[in-house]
Chain A
Amino acid sequence: MNMKIYDELNTIFQQVFGDDEIRIAPELTADDIDGWDSLSHVNLIVAIEKKFKLKFSQKELLRFRNIGDLMESISSKINND
């Protein structure tokens, strides 16, 4: 399950940042990826919500410190369905 999320999330990152070389990892943050600013962040969230068919709340969005948090949130939302 987690590998599937990882793969799909990685693809989304590659699309949003226009870079096929991107390999995400749980400990990575916005500082680690070139071009990840508040603009691309919104695009990222929208793409994730579309792909996984879920919706993040304002509070949840504020809690993400790194990609790991993001993956955990996606995983728990999918599992709760």
Chain B
Amino acid sequence: MPFHSMFYLFFLIAVFVLYYSIHHKHRWIVLLLGSLFFYAFLRKWELIVILVYVIGVTYYGGLIIEKYSNHGRINTILMGLVLAILLPLLMVKYPAILLKALQGRVMIETLASIGVSFYTFQALSYLFDVKLEKIRAENNLGYLALYLSFFPKMLQGPIERADSLLPQLKQNYQFDYQMARRGMLIFGVGLFKKLVIADRLAPMANTVFSDVTEYTGISLWMGLFYFALQIYFDFSAYTDMAIGTGRLFGIELAPNFNQPYFATSVPDFWRRWHMSFSRWLMDYLFKPLQMSVRQYGISASVIAAMVTFVICGIWHGSTWNYVMWVAINGVYVAVSISTAKTRKKIHKKLRTNRWPKLIKTWQTVFTFALICFAWIFFRAESLGDAVYICTHLFDNIFNQFRSLFQKPFLRKFIFMGRAITPTALFLIAMMLMIVIEYRLNFLKNYRIFQSPTWIRWSFYCLFALIFYFNRAKSIAEFIYFQF
């Protein structure tokens, strides 16, 4: 059930009450049963089968790897386990490819893959960590099952590391008021991001992307801008709500976003976006690959980066959107790596350290532009549309700038048909919130809890009011739900 539904609220309350009513030694069982119920609520039998299968393979896999760690063929065993775990993911995401492989005339209905990408990769990280002797294999099937299926992170991550989550699941659960409080705050923030911001940006972005040839120049930039913000607010909202939920039960999940659009380079962006996933790619793919071919110098890093991005693309899906998006990002990172030394020299020569703020601003804006350009391919509804956008980004912009403040133009081509005043206010307020939060970290560092009570409660009430009056009319599904 989606986090922003009433069902979830009731479910959460029920689990919470049950959780704290039971003796702390058995609380993890409540979480496990709750998680299974949560997943079953989707009413797709194949998902339960896949989950049980992956739990089984992971559990026995971990024990086997540990037992045979000195065996000559341990790497083959590991490979076998990896393939066994990836099998369901490949089957649900790539039925067409598999259909050809099976050479049958069987019509395989596209199976749901909700959550599979996330816990599959989490299972792999567990096996790798056992192999690398970072952790001991888990002897208790129940704990392992909970580790993989813990409901807050089930649908869209974060992808949790065993050394982070497993110990927390086994701990003595005591109710921690401060932690629960921070959980509720971040959950509220996530809900706000989703219902008030992301779902309002969605129709505006959709208007452009569903009919690209209607728009040129600045309108395309605006559509892209709306989408870039939409996907950030949408996905980070989910993560916030997942983390908030976890905290209610005394469990700290991994952060997924670190103000990504304030990145100063594309590699930096990738260290701030969907962090639990990019760290997975870094730790299990990029770094080992890079190290194993280190004698090739810079080429090693470039090759490793390209391979990593290919895997990233495959994880997202087999359509041209992700292939292009990943290819472009791969090129960005490859260029960034290859030119790092040269750029450093240029900076030294020009003594750009005289203007740190200017340089940082330039780097941030330029990086944002590069990322947005790549988003074109992620979002466009066809390759033709994407090409159209690329080739018309600067079409007609002089004329557009001239009519920028004329009402009809503003309404149709900047605000995508929405009423001017409320939309302008919304966008300004949103930008203000982003900047204020970036500078003051009221929410990030929970400084708000240090403010006097009346300030806090005024904030909460204001929050609730804005929420009530501004929630989007149509509530969209989470974007990353499809992965």
Contact = CB atoms under 8 A, between A and B. Distances in A.
Interface of A: 18, 37-39, 42-43, 45-46, 58-59, 61-62
A61 B301 CA distance: 16
24 contacts: A18-B344, A37-B267, A38-B286, A38-B287, A38-B290, A38-B301, A39-B301, A39-B337, A39-B340, A42-B290, A42-B291, A42-B294, A42-B300, A43-B297, A45-B291, A46-B295, A46-B297, A58-B288, A58-B292, A59-B132, A59-B133, A61-B291, A62-B132, A62-B134
Interface string B290-316: 111011010011000000000000000
A62 B287 CA distance: 10
Interface string B394-407: 00000000000000
Nearest to A18: B344
A3 B226 CA distance: 58
Nearest to B134: A62
Given A38-B290, A39-B301, 19 more contacts: A37-B267, A38-B282, A38-B287, A38-B301, A39-B337, A39-B340, A42-B291, A42-B300, A42-B301, A43-B297, A45-B291, A45-B294, A46-B295, A46-B297, A58-B288, A58-B292, A59-B132, A61-B291, A62-B134
A58 B290 CA distance: 11
A58 B291 contact: yes
Contacts of B290: 38, 42
Nearest to B271: A37
A62 B135 CA distance: 13
A62 B129 CA distance: 11
Interface of B: 132-134, 267, 282, 286-288, 290-292, 294-295, 297, 300-301, 337, 340, 344
A61 B292 CA distance: 11
Interface centre among A42, A43, A46, A59 (most CB of B within 10 A): A42
Contacts of B134: 62
Contacts of A62: 132, 134
Contact of B294 (A18, A37, A46): A46
A37 B282 CA distance: 11
Interface centre among A38, A43, A59 (most CB of B within 10 A): A38
B110 to A, nearest CB: 37
Contacts of A37: 267
Nearest to A35: B344
A36 B286 CA distance: 16
A43 B294 CA distance: 8
A1 B133 CA distance: 31
A38 B267 CA distance: 11
Contacts of B133: 59
Nearest to B300: A42
Contacts of A46: 294-295, 297
A43 B291 CA distance: 10
A37 B295 CA distance: 18
Nearest to B341: A18
A62 B267 CA distance: 22
Contacts of B344: 18
Contacts of A61: 291
B459 to A, nearest CB: 33
B186 to A, nearest CB: 25
B268 to A, nearest CB: 9
Contacts of A43: 297
A18 B287 CA distance: 22
A20 B295 CA distance: 25
A75 B131 CA distance: 27
Contacts of B340: 39
Contacts of A39: 301, 337, 340
Nearest to A62: B132
A39 B134 CA distance: 23
A47 to B, nearest CB: 10
Contacts of B292: 58
Contacts of B297: 43, 46
A62 B290 CA distance: 13
B94 to A, nearest CB: 30
Nearest to B301: A39
B337 to A, nearest CB: 6
Nearest to B348: A18
A58 B340 CA distance: 26
A45 B291 CA distance: 9
Contacts of A38: 282, 286-287, 290, 301
Nearest to B340: A39
A59 B131 CA distance: 10
A39 B287 CA distance: 9
A64 B301 CA distance: 20
A46 B296 CA distance: 10
